[in-house]
Structure 1
């Protein structure tokens, strides 16, 4: 269950964002650029008139974005990204969403369809008469095909950094007419991560190692990945960082995992067969691993650990608690 934003913090963040927006709108006829050429709009947004539209937002990965202009506040949004779907609801744009892809399952009651974000069918998407499509990838010319049909597409790919995730929340808020809410959400999730990381640091949790299991064949993540960066904020180092695979998502051998003896094991694949905290000790050599002996094998919903939306705050809280629990052992 997602940790709700405290009402007082939400009110302060929303008010601050609203004030910032008012200043931006007042200065809309002036220059948008800072001295280094970067935009000073929330999430790279350039609002038009007092209604906020048309608005221009950055579409794509930071560092390789293109400007997307949305003429009117969208009322028939199609989301092909589970992370974007969660964020749309978190910024208050849920009522503007008419359809989401088959992987979007949160929050409860989202209008899930058979649409695929991995193999998008343009004709099927257009069947929902969207005035904005949000997607994680430009698969098979999705953007150009929808553009030909007059439908803008906001690309929000899997982020490479935590700041990229905050930026996407801001951009999605701006694109849907919820600039203040998008800025407030980004600020809240960032602050939640910062606060949780501070708790881990105070506990002296630096130097801990982890194994983040993606599937039973022992695919994992390194510290170079987005989720790996989150672990690093809590003082955890992936055992895969020392492997010679050169892959950010390497497959480790059973012997490597056992010999690395991680302090923490995170299972995100408990939907596969009999994978569970209870059963990992039955794997060859695992019964003697520190994490198994010390009870530091945990199950995590893969949606929470793989999506870059508002529930990052939940995962951060979980990592903080694990770091605090492990810190005394690390000190010894």
Structure 2
């Protein structure tokens, strides 16, 4: 199925398989990891795979999640990362390898001699396989809401000796998002409808998904919510359904994977009559930014805000 593609698969698989699990250091852990980077003593992190003890500050981290790779570098732990999966394309200097987070090979991972492995999916029992050889593993699944995204960043900060940097990052993300949303709302964008495209097979997201909740911050109406099989969170819309619902805005999260663009959308049969197309409210998103729940989330929010303000002005 196309929505479970390379760029968005972590969100889809994580939401479906691990929606009830999340990392979480909680208030009881606050203050326990002071000066971790300097002292190097053991810490315990509450992740989706339970209480994970990390004996010492990790120096050979393997990240099998593009989102977590971004986070590790954003909180200053980049120099501790020695290998990342084949989809971790940001930042550019991340030590990318052929390791896969979706078809993990325990032997290949072990061969990199990690002292911490971070991943977002427990595919093929990889957590158990690595735990058996005493490698600390943090399972931090796809966030299902904003607070979980912030919590996972703080988990990684605690695990790597960068708690202070993680706290600053999440505070900055919260502030940026809050300000962006407030500015857009003042433009009167509430009630506008939108369509978020995962691929050119018209797979989309509902308001219950992480992505849908981000749009929900602006008071927007998601046309996918009323679609058949919307309960799964990622329905495939029919051409007829989409044309009938006629969204005010279209967001393309398939510019990289599927080569979609405002021009391409306008050439689809019947789409030139859509309000979003006629008023040039088709937004070309960066697939990666729109499918990850890490440090670049404020960029996604700003892209939505700009579209909301433009669409509001054209009412």
TM-score by length of 2: 0.87
Contact 2:256/2:286 (8 A) holds in 1 = no
Give the superposition deviation at 1:38: 5.3
Post-superposition offset of 1:89: 0.2
Aligned-pair distance for 1:247? 2.4
Say which is worse superposed, 98-107 or 273-282, in terms of deviation.
273-282
Which digits, 9 at most, give the CA deviation of each residue in 1:79-125, with x for residues without a partner? 00000000000000000000000000000111000000001001000
Q: Partners in 2 of 1:324 and 1:194 — Cα distance?
A: 16
- State whether structure 2 residue 127 is matched by structure 1 residue 139: no
2:312 match: 327
Taking the aligned partners of 1:144 and 1:274, their CA distance within structure 2 comes to 38
Listed as ranges, the matches of 1:131-170 within 5 Å are: 131-170=115-154
In 1: Cα distance, 2:51 partner to 2:98 partner: 29
Q: Distance in 1 between matches of 2:217 and 2:208?
A: 12
1:232-255 Cα shifts (integer Å, max 9, x gaps): 002222101122322210000001
Give aligned pairs, total. Answer: 288
Q: CA RMSD in A?
A: 1.8
What residue number does 1:315 align with?
Answer: 300
Does 2:243 correspond to 1:243? no
- Is structure 2 residue 174 aligned with structure 1 residue 185? no
* 1:17-96 matched pairs, under 5 angstroms: 39-42=27-30, 46-47=32-33, 51=39, 53-60=41-48, 66-96=50-80
Moved more, 136-145 or 223-232: 136-145
**Paired residue secondary structure (2:250):** strand
Match of 2:270 in 1: 285
1:206 to 190, 212, 223: 190
Which deviations, in whole Å up to 9, do the C-alpha atoms of 1:1-26 show, x marking residues without a partner? Answer: xxxxxxxxxxxxxxxxxxxxxxxxxx
The Cα shift of 1:313 comes to 1.0
Structure 2: where are the runs of 5+ without partners? Answer: 1-24
Q: Secondary structure at the match of 1:217?
A: coil
1:49 is displaced (CA, Å) by 8.0
User: Any stretches of 5+ residues in structure 1 without a counterpart?
Assistant: 1-36
Deviation string 1:216-246 (CA, Å, 9 cap, x unpaired) is 1100000000010000002222101122322
The secondary structure found in structure 2 opposite 1:278 is helix
Matching of residue 266 in structure 1 with residue 251 in structure 2: yes
SS at match of 1:279: helix
Give, in whole Å, the separation in 2 of the partners of 1:149 and 1:167: 27
Query: 1 CA distance for matches of 2:43 and 2:272?
Result: 57
1 CA distance for matches of 2:117 and 2:98?
15
In the aligned structure 1, how far is the partner of 2:267 from the partner of 2:26?
54
Q: TM-score, normalised by structure 1?
A: 0.83
2:111 alignment counterpart: 127
